[in-house]
Amino acid sequence: MSPSAHVTPLQRVSDTEAAAWHQVVAASTAHDLPGVPAPHPGHIHAQLTQPALGSRRLAWLATAADGAPVGVAGLRLFTSTGQRHLAELELHVDPGHRRLGTGTLLLSAVVAACRAEGRRSLVATAAADSPGEAFSERHGFRRVLALDHLLLDVARADDAAADAEHPGYELACWTGTVPDDLAEAFAAAKNAMNDMPMGDMDYGSQTWTADRVRAMAEVLADRGDVLLTTAALCKGEMAGYTEIVIRAGETRRALQYDTVVVPAHRGHGLGLWVKAEMVRRLRAEQPGIVEIETDNAQDNTHMLAVNRQLGFRFHRSTHEHQLDLPTT
């Protein structure tokens, strides 16, 4: 069947285009992931209009003959040294307009942009056994990483580890941008994320500096998100930390961002310590938040064990897929 949609690249995304984008994503999410909340309209608007950290964004909107939005594609082009080979795809088609070639049209536009930008790897996330996974595999993507998504009931979480003794270590907590006296130590700790399990994904590496961690916090603040960080300190070093983000407009669910323990400080229970303390912070500072969502690579057995000890329960699985693109 010939494609019935028209694909338009979006330049400066208007309020109307952002609303159309949200309409497609909400319909796609409700169909493919029952029970999973769609992103808030304000989050979609900020994602499409606000600058990102270490990347820039291209976007396309597919419309039917009557002008109704039927599909969207977003392409994140990484710009940091160590990741300039990489692009990340988000693609949704309204369930009522699938099997008409809309997704293929959008993907063609994305692949052309990747080639023009000299990207060798295009990655996309799809729920396990979902229409998105089947679409990815039909179009030549290969599965490179399996993730388990977990949910924690904040009220019922086991936070006893927050009371554990850790001689030589102390906790530090902040909201938003890292305090100046911790910025360099925080950047050094963030660089430990480069050894997290990434399966067969051609992910590359990131380099964090004090300026970059400040910039990340600014990006989230500009979107209206709340960033909470709890860290373990040891003799001027940051031994580990955990981050939670509450997106703009969100009233129930927080998202787990990084949890890191620096290699030299592993084996002392610091990851569980900072995460348990974060649970207590959420209860005290954000009483409306009732659950935390996290995801872990299925082979990250240590962090999965830490999360289960806190009370996280399995929610769903997703797979990262990668399309390898020829480069000249």
Split at pLDDT 50, 70, 90, the class of 35 is confident
Q: Which whole number is the average pLDDT over 93-105? A: 96
Question: What is the average pLDDT value for the chain, to the nearest integer?
Answer: 95
pLDDT at 176 > cutoff 80:
yes
pLDDT at 249 > cutoff 90:
no
The CA distance from 146 to 132, in Å, is: 15
pLDDT at 328 > cutoff 80:
no
Q: Which whole number is the average pLDDT over 54-60? A: 96
Split at pLDDT 50, 70, 90, the class of 2 is very low
pLDDT at 327 > cutoff 60:
yes
Q: Which whole number is the average pLDDT over 247-252? A: 90
Q: Which whole number is the average pLDDT over 143-165? A: 97
Percent of the chain with pLDDT over 90: 89
pLDDT at 152 > cutoff 50:
yes
Lookup: tokens for 171 = 């906790």
> Which pTM was predicted?
0.92
pLDDT at 9 > cutoff 90:
yes
Summarize pLDDT for 68-83 with one digit per residue, the tens. 999 999 999 999 999 9
The CA distance from 92 to 105, in Å, is: 12
Summarize pLDDT for 266-314 with one digit per residue, the tens. 999 999 999 999 999 999 999 999 999 999 999 999 999 999 999 999 9
Summarize pLDDT for 184-240 with one digit per residue, the tens. 999 999 999 888 888 899 999 989 999 999 999 999 999 999 999 999 999 989 999
Residue 1: predicted pLDDT: 44
Residue 3: predicted pLDDT: 58
Percent of the chain with pLDDT over 70: 99
